[in-house]
Amino acid sequence: MKIVLQNNEQDCLLACYSMILGYFGRDVAIHELYSGEMIPPDGLSVSYLKNINMQHQVNMHVYKTDKKNSPNKIFYPKMLPVIIQWNDNHFVVVTKIYRKNVTLIDPAIGKVKYNYNDFMKKFSGYIITLSPNSSFTKKKRISEIIFPLKKIFKNRNTFLYIFSLFISQIVALWFSIILRDILNKSHDITYSFIMMISLVLFQTLSLLMKLGAQKNTNLLYESKISRQIFKGIFSRPLLYFRNNSVGTIIEKINLRTGIRDGILLKIFPSLLNFFTVFIVIIYLGTISFTLTLFLVIMNLLYMIFSFSLISIKRQANIQYTQQTIDFTSVVQEDLNQIEQIKAQANEKECVKRWTKKSAQTIFSYNKILNIDGITSAFNQGFNYICVILMMIFGIYLNQGNLVSIPDLIIFQSGISLFVSAVNQIQDVMFEISRLSIYGNKISDLLIENPQRIDNIEKHSNNAIILKDISYSYELNNYIFNNINFSIKKGEKIAIVGKSGSGKSTLFNILLGLISYEGEVTYGYENLRQIIGVVSQNMNLRKGSLIENIVSNNNSEELDIQKINDVLKDVNMLELVDSLPQKIFSQLFENGKNLSGGQIQRLLIAKSLLNNNKFIFWDEPFSSLDNQNRIHIYKNVLENPDYKSQTIIMISHHLDVLKYVNRVIYIDDKKIMIDKHNNLLLNDSYNSFVNE
């Protein structure tokens, strides 16, 4: 069964389902199984899987078994493979049941084996059986990375690169021939010297050709793979970044260089070296067929042993890759919470967590080292034994004048060349397996999601119109159903409601960040160029203050007076003027030389500048004190200078309701929109604002 690793802890069930489908003959990647943009708030449940399963013509049964029975009585061979719940919060695939052990595939780490006792401790008792129905069809899937890789490596650069490697191999073989001729005194010193100079020149030419081809291939790889990955990432909907941690995404991006280096630095040279061995065999056969046959037989024995280690090393590499990604994610998450960790003195817990994750990574890496160590030890031992046997056999042939001593030296070099070729083929097979893992990991990033085209009516008096809008995380479980309302240009709107009522969901629908059913029409031309946003996750970049709040900071085009007016309206002008270089002063990464309230006010200023006409604020006052908050209410929301700008905000500060034109109140999946005073007549709203 092909191993499919999970992208994050939430989609382990989809990874298991993907493996089962692959076992039945239908190759489906994890990202193709998502029924929507976001995993439901309660994670991937069996009900979620049932909705997906309807599309794949597979019979699905879920039941709980008696854990008092042993695994060989719970699972019979014909029902395997099956998905089981693991540790009450995870899913794995059981593939084999032996007399004392159970083999399963954990989408977090790969294939593992447990004895019966350890298995039953982790087995939660729930089993999901799957079997194809009569309508099931098989489907082969080609990884998204294959096509761009063909474009990159089927060209003149690859030919030059391989040709340069071929020259290097010929030079090495040529050197051995010249050395044999020198020992046999077949040519004079002048001829030998000219041959050596020629070798150096050809080797230099080979290196220059190889370097040029590598550089050109790198540039092509960047344009075809890296750029496509970057485009694919930024084409993802907002919810993709909530489903995947920053560390996971960064680690997946970094895998792209491993694919390039694996092909250029390992697969191509190794394959060419292996094929060069056939030329060497032919040459050695002309010297001594008997010794050549002996050499081939010995290396076939070595090859059989070496290849037996490939599957073990492949599994160890799968675990190492996944553990590395998991470790990066944990580090990223903790560093994002460093203030809380410091405040609560949780450093020791973080050190323990990092140490545990790092130890898991090292444990997986040590498995690879152990396999490499065994291979290396066997390699050296085989070399010694083979050389000794070759010399004994060669001396015997020499006594019969069948081979010369220089010939034996050539054959000794041939042993090393043969062993090296076998090792390289082993490396190629392992590398292909490793690149397959990498390719599957980043394949979803190579797909550019189609972007929703905004409906625009530029001459409309409305900033936005919602018509029959519905939204759900799961099939038929709607958060909103057929909502309709409009917001006029220049209106100041507040969205309020209880926690979890759907304020952020509605906010993201209005902003066009999530998919929905229905139609949204905007009243602005070049919409995305005139939107200003303040979100809870936004921060400042490293650079000057002016670079952070003005999109085009060309000194000749800066409207300093306008900037100062906005800074004054958000109560930041006095602070900015106190800085050494005023608006040109440098900020640290994430604005760490400013307070949270100062950062928030600068972000509000940024949203109001840059000719923005449609403003979205998500909890813009969460870090502000009463004085600064009221200052912005009066100097922005009630200021005629901003009357043409439409502002839609989410705020838990209900004192803002007196300063906005209308309020959107969300209650029990229903939306009410009216003036604050009118909504007070509604019992639910009145109760909400007066709690």
Q: 521 near 680, Cβ under 8 Å?
A: no
Place of tokens 């493996």: 19
Dist. CA 583–CA 612, nearest whole Å? 20
Dist. CA 609–CA 414, nearest whole Å? 73
**H or E stretch including 522?**
strand 517-522
Starting at the edge strand that comes first in sequence, how are the strands of the sheet with 82-86 ordered? 58-64, 123-132, 82-86, 90-97, 101-106, 110-115
Tokens of 577: 């003027």
Dist. CA 262–CA 242, nearest whole Å? 31
Dist. CA 345–CA 352, nearest whole Å? 13
Q: Which residues, at least 6 apart from 550, have a Cβ–Cβ distance to it below 8 Å?
A: 558, 563, 606, 609, 610
Choose, from 12, 16, 350, 386, the residue flagged as catalytic: 12
Q: How far is it between the farthest Cα atoms of the chain?
A: 115
Burial class (CB in 10 A: 0-12, 13-18, 19+), 654: middle
Burial class (CB in 10 A: 0-12, 13-18, 19+), 456: middle
Q: 656 near 621, Cβ under 8 Å?
A: yes
Place of tokens 């032919």: 282
What is the CA 384 to chain-centroid distance, rounded?
45
Q: Give the 3-state secondary structure of residue 101.
A: strand
Q: 145 near 226, Cβ under 8 Å?
A: no
Active-site residue, 12 included:
yes
**Residues β-bridged to residue 92:** 84
Q: Could you tell me the end-to-end alpha-carbon distance of the chain, in angstroms, rounded to an integer?
A: 58
Tokens of 279: 């030329």
Neighbours of 660 (CB within 10 A): 23
DSSP secondary-structure letter at 661?
S
Q: 637 near 659, Cβ under 8 Å?
A: yes
Return the HEC string of 618-657: ECCCCCCCHHHHHHHHHHHHCCHHHCCCEEEEECCCHHHH
Catalytic residue list = 12
